[in-house]
Amino acid sequence: MATVRSPPDVERLAQAIRAGDRAVLSRAITLIESKRADHRGAAAALTQTLLHVTGKAVRVGITGSPGVGKSTLIDSLGSMLTGQGHKVAVLAVDPSSRRTGGSILADKTRMARLANDANAFIRPSPASGTLGGVAAKTRETMLLCEAAGYDVVLVETVGVGQSEIAVADMTDFFLVLVLPGAGDELQALKKGVIELADMIAINKADGDNLARAKAAAAEYKAALHILTPASPNWSPPVITCSALKGDGIADLWSKILQHRDRLAASGELSARRGEQQVKWMWTMLEERLFAPLRSDRTVKAELPKIEAEVSAGRLAPAAAVEKIAVMLER
């Protein structure tokens, strides 16, 4: 059996995080991302210890196709906010391998201002894992950042269905970025992501794109008009902006605050967060219950054979489930 090292002192970690120690915050996030069983216990204890000082941040999810300008927008918005005295944390959910290697570096250069800003904290997506796992780690990371005094959390995700839902499920406001023109005005609508959107921003509304961006905005407005808004207190607005030039960024933020005020007043904000917490618990429980399936050597070795048998019609699915369950219960 491997030697079990004593778990890190949770109280001490919690205090340093609350004091805003960035190095400790980084280490604590690494602890949260760890797959070791003893780390998992310490991580859970840490989030529980800090829970009462979390929840104060404005949590914004940002999605859109690759290259639409998410990181540029985060850099622009984030710098504006740190300039106003906010502390901004930037997280990412990306369970694909797209972001391995040089792209973390690329993100840092795309967010050049924030990367060098003492009041900003950038943490890339956990390196690997299932979407549920990656999203759960990002959520816990968000809590740690809140405990460390970050009052704005921006979560970037790449535009692929499931990860967008995961990010919408951990944020208060979901921003969808789209590109102007070129016949793909209604990209977001086609992808069905529009139902999640609290606002649509047509980015790169600058230079030659300006007229096309305005046209796209009109199309989106018309399209949104026929959808029933998710909240009776909020109709998702459509705006144009230029993350690169900084145009429309102040307006974008004021809409986010307006949304926050309205939903806080109606009680929807805390209801939404409560639902998210419960959903999160179930996601983590599912992950946990599934873990033996992925890690048990015997099961792992048998699964492909069992699948083949089921596929060939020699083994009934119900009998296969029995077989696997018995192996897991041993």
Ligand X SMILES: Nc1nc2c(ncn2[C@@H]2O[C@H](COP(=O)(O)OP(=O)(O)OP(=O)(O)O)[C@@H](O)[C@H]2O)c(=O)[nH]1
- Using the rule CB under 5 A, give the single segment among 68-76, 145-153, 177-185, 320-328 that binds Mg ion: 68-76
Told to check if 71 binds Mg ion by CB under 5 A, we report yes
Query: Can you point out the beta strands (E) in 134-243?
Result: 152-157, 173-178, 199-202, 238-240
Q: Token digits for 244?
A: 């690169």
Distance separating the N- and C-terminal Cα atoms of the chain = 19
Contact 287, 136 (CB under 8 A): yes
Return the number of the residue (17 or 158) whose C-beta is nearest Mg ion: 158
Q: Which residues pair with 274 in a beta bridge?
A: none
Binding partner selected for residue 244 from ligand X, Mg ion, none, CB under the kind-specific 5 to 8 Å limit: ligand X
The option from Mg ion, ligand X, none interacting with 206 (CB < 5 to 8 A, set by class) reads: ligand X
268 interacts with, out of Mg ion, ligand X, none, CB within 5 to 8 A per kind: none
Question: How far apart are the C-alpha atoms of 220 and 209, rounded to whole Å?
Answer: 16
Side by side, the strands of the sheet bearing 58-63 are 120-123, 88-93, 152-157, 58-63, 173-178, 199-202, 238-240
Does the footprint of Mg ion cover residue 204 (CB under 5 A)? Answer: no
What is the identity of the amino acid at 212?
Answer: R
Structure tokens of 21? 């120690």
Which residue from 134, 268, 137, 190 is spatially nearest to 176, judged by alpha carbons? 190
Q: Which does 63 bind (CB under 5 to 8 A by kind): ligand X, Mg ion, none?
A: none
User: Interface mask (CB under 5 A) for Mg ion, residues 18-57, using x and -?
Assistant: ----------------------------------------
Give 105 or 285: the residue with its C-beta nearer to ligand X: 105
Q: How far apart are CA 275 and CA 86, in angstroms?
A: 27
- Shortest gap between Cβ of 274 and Mg ion (angstroms)? 31
Helix, strand, or coil (residue 22): helix
Interatomic CA distance for residues 157 and 193, integer angstroms: 12
What's the closest the beta carbon of residue 201 comes to Mg ion, in angstroms? 15
**63 membership: H or E segment, kind and range:** strand 58-63
Comparison of 168 and 178: residue with beta carbon closer to ligand X: 178
What does 310 interact with, of ligand X, Mg ion, none (CB < 5 to 8 A by kind)? none
For residue 165, the surrounding DSSP H or E stretch is helix 161-168
Q: Of Mg ion, ligand X, none, which one sits near residue 43, judging by CB under 5 to 8 A according to partner kind?
A: none
In the bound complex, what is the minimum distance in angstroms from residue 200's beta carbon to Mg ion?
Answer: 18
199 binds, options ligand X, Mg ion, none, Cβ within 5 to 8 A by partner type: none
Of 43 and 249, which has the nearer Cβ to ligand X?
249
**In the bound complex, which residue of the shown chain has the CB atom lying closest to ligand X?**
69
As measured in angstroms, the least distance from the Cβ of 249 to Mg ion is 16
Q: Does 212 bind Mg ion (CB under 5 A)?
A: no
CB nearer ligand X, residue 94 or residue 146:
94
Cβ-based nearer residue to ligand X, 61 or 64: 64
Helix or strand run (H / E) with residue 121: strand 120-123
- Closest distance of CB 50 from Mg ion, Å: 28
Q: Which of 236, 241, 187 is nearest to 72 (CA)?
A: 241
The residues binding ligand X (CB under 6 A) are 64, 66-72, 110, 158, 203-204, 206, 242-244
Type of residue at 293:
L
Give, as one character, the DSSP assignment of residue 314: S
Q: How far is the CB of 195 from ligand X (least distance, A)?
A: 21
Residue closer to ligand X, measured from CB, 198 or 206 = 206
Give the footprint of Mg ion on this chain (CB under 5 A): 70-71
